[in-house]
Structure 1
């Protein structure tokens, strides 16, 4: 992001052709239509399931004595449709934020549909109704596919409309510090999220405009005034939502802004300081009436560790078999491209700060390691804890291409299979990097290093080191098999986009 200094106060009018989402439409009409369409899909799923079982006899011939008319399933189908709407509403599926994608929705939809179907089956058992189990199974599978397919289509349609400025939310950011700049950059570069970045308020006069280079060219966000101008500016510009992005040290200011937003009946969100995420680890207790506060251990232990290891073994073994031939081709290309070994073995700091060996395809010229310290010293403002160069001159021709698509990391699946690494976890650090760590940074060694992680799917090399470590700690404290699965699935588009890969 580039910052330019300019004087004066800039007011951003509503963009031509832009249609914002009205409160009634966003809070009632759309959720109601979403719920009713879900109910309709569930009903159709039951009808199709009935046809599969009783018309086409999928799953075995149905004896004449066991044949049931579709009217028998009217009540279960209606009940399931109603339960799906109720459970989905309780889970908040109909009022999710705009940035929630299909991947995040999947677990809620699967859980909600499973809960609803279990409720119907229990009621059927209680009232001694004994329909075909296969019909219920077919209905569940068809309904799940239909509900997910509907959301995929709606998601694609919404993004296309938002790109054209239809149904967007006009957003005002409060604060232009580190957090404010990051969120402003995100809004400006991601119109598909459905937000129009109108501008920002900040009490500092030095920066009057922010510009960000995107696929659509350079886009700008203007400083519209000071924080005291919040109410008149939101009214004048038709602001739909406010994002408060002040530093944690300005807690008093954040509290006052929150209260002002509430009094003005203005929707708002607060960007948290990543240090504050550790609050989830707090455990409360008491001894003889004396309250005690502790912190949960961030380590992944017990059955959680066993499940994670089983996933590592299964996935890494599968990938090694599938990628065996491409890896041989890459090895041949490395041999032809430059002098030196095919594989590069590096000592890294792993779990519990123990030394471990990590294997990668060689992407640099011979003697690249000896040039590293000189490059760090020669680069003004370089962070030795994670020094990266976008156009590193030490890379070979093939190495640049391999780094672009992260193909140099394929041999690390062997390290994962052997237990040196995990599929998901903190980036394995070099000993020379660890020498510059602060004490709190070393908490990332509580878990096994990973091939990918939250840092990989949230900016990769574009993140600062502190941001990367905080994401690593958040991952360790909130680990679940589903979180690993989501990170792995999000890694695919992150790698294919090549953003931050250097």
Structure 2
């Protein structure tokens, strides 16, 4: 896990909208006033000035905490701060043009561009930012659960709605009493089962002053053990195996415990890496996939692809795609083969010389060609190139609280387990250890190292069956 919390409270959507507004304003201004009023030589002078002033505007906003997700989004406050940053940027721009100001002061583009830019930024703040935050991004935000009294829940939610923090509110659970309100979904003593049932990503503990610290620590540990991000309102706690950082929303200080990275820059980079990498692999291996599909169809009756529901991040279900390497009745035959399972305690199923595997299946498994369709899972976001092994629903039902932590991130096509022995690792506890080690040590460079090791193993045909 990346231990840096850089960007955890950074409103990247706001800054992207500001950058987009600046670009749109320039395009509009140049299209209307620039073509006939300015030469190529003038553009070479004005463009760097505009870019520098735009950078000053963004940096000044950053200094004023405009891009902090915990800042209360009052229109007058945001407009005042962005206007101040814009005036400062405008002063810098005219300062850079000071020695040639007499040449450009009456130029239509130079006069229109600052006005158009401010108008576009104003419209973005007034209308478009709220639409993007509350509607377009809603389905991509973490699923959150509140723990506390109804009064504290309502007050905290009131504060939260004034910020740029986006979460999918699943509901709240009480400390010890029942509640008839529509948001109520259970009691604190059932926290583990509620996390499993509702695929929770984050839990907010709204602590009372008289709350038993020892009792609350017990439930904080449950979240940490399961890999669910835990946010404590008001008080301080031992962080145990999790990392933490402090922020605030309204009058509430918040101490966040997390075992998965909260670095937004790294997360965004990983997602873009997944998209680009999977697209390249799909394009390069498309002839191999076509030949494989034909071979499977000729070798044995049944579909080309094997589809199965697997468990992804924090219990979400998704459909995994692989080339079929077994007989069509493989699942029906599995109970008869359980006694030959190489994995101790039956938490996974791996069997050497599995009789259900077809002739083509043996080859594509040995070369890992059977996993190529999973790059479509990566492309569409249910998996990552590097992650933990995606378990089946039946396997997850047997997970202990500690085991659940291995699905606190997206599953991957390859990972620490695959490059550390794969089929030779037959102890499920060791698999969990390797997966949680990956989560704890995650970085972009670790992903690259694992990919390089995976490629090396593919050429050696090691540990694949």
TM-score normalised by L of structure 2: 0.44
TM-score normalised by L of structure 1: 0.41
Structure with more contact order per residue of length (Cα contacts < 8 Å, sep ≥ 6): 2
